[in-house]
Copies of this chain bind each other. A is one copy, B any other.
């Protein structure tokens, strides 16, 4: 299969596949006599895995480390579990940060809504923010 076909099957663009190859998520593709990349069905499976990892918010380098473990002959499950645990911790942190920010913004919003624009201190640009 050519790159366009495979990328379509995986729901990606040819650019993305070349990028993944360059980033080490895909092994360097076999080339046809014309220099075109040649792919087998296994590539689609690998790309699906990559897509699942991306959907879980894993970075390219994290996914690369999983694939490297699999290539080394180990079941990468323990490593995947570690990465997902880290991802959960990061998500919890980000959600907490955004929630705190939201609270502060909500307070400012209330202050502005309750304020009197004509009493807004010009020298402070806006008294209520």
B98 touches A95 (CB 8 A): yes
Which residues A21-56 have CB closer than 8 A to chain B? 42, 45-46, 48-49, 52-53, 55-56
How far is it, in angstroms, between the C-alpha of A77 and the C-alpha of B94 when the chains are bound?
30
Chain B residues whose C-beta falls within 8 Å of the C-beta of A70 in the assembled complex: 122, 125-126
Number of copies: 2
Which residues A60-112 have CB closer than 8 A to chain B? 66-67, 70, 75-78, 80-81, 84-85, 87-88, 91-92, 94-95, 98-99, 101-102, 104-106, 108-109, 112
6 contacts between A and B (CB under 8 A): A56-B129, A75-B118, A77-B120, A80-B112, A80-B128, A95-B99
